[in-house]
Amino acid sequence: MKITRRTDYAIHLIARLSEEPDQCFGLRILAADHGVTYAFARTVQQGLLKAGIIKAVRGVNGGIQLARPIDEITLFDVFEAAQGPFDQVFSYANTPWCKCNDDFCVSAEMWNSTKELMKDHFSGITLKSLLKTQ
């Protein structure tokens, strides 16, 4: 499993939005402030919007803002919004190096339990606790 730049930026984006949760921010400004391209920020934004973590507000004073409190957003939510379904990201099925048959694989149980431990751990970390905000 690989933690991507998209996931890291998504956390930074949420951290910035959480500083002023009632304020709308323009994505171009947020991207520039963090030193990423607008195109990259837009792809991250799309995942966060689809997951319901942020919302877009139209109009002159529009932009993006958090859609729910950071104590209700978990690291697991952000991970999936940025990288896709956890079960697909953390997958070893149909790997070219495993020559086991479909009925038994000596390492399958270990990888499945590791995946579940990580999923539980990420689900137990709220962005509020991660960011140590009030």
Which amino acid is residue 105, in one-letter code? C
Q: Which CATH number does the domain housing residue 29 bear?
A: 1.10.10.10
pLDDT, position 134: 47
Domain extent for 44: 5-131
String of DSSP letters for 77-121 = HHHHHHH--HHHHS--TT-TT---BTTB-TTHHHHHHHHHHHHHH
Token pair belonging to 39: 């195109």
CB 64 within 8 A of CB 76: no
Decide: pTM greater than 0.75. yes
pLDDT, position 108: 72
pLDDT, position 56: 93
Provide the domain count of the chain.
1
Q: Print pLDDT tens along the chain (134 aa).
A: 677 899 999 999 999 999 998 899 999 999 999 999 999 999 999 999 999 999 999 988 889 999 999 999 999 999 999 998 887 777 655 565 666 666 667 777 777 888 889 999 999 999 999 887 54
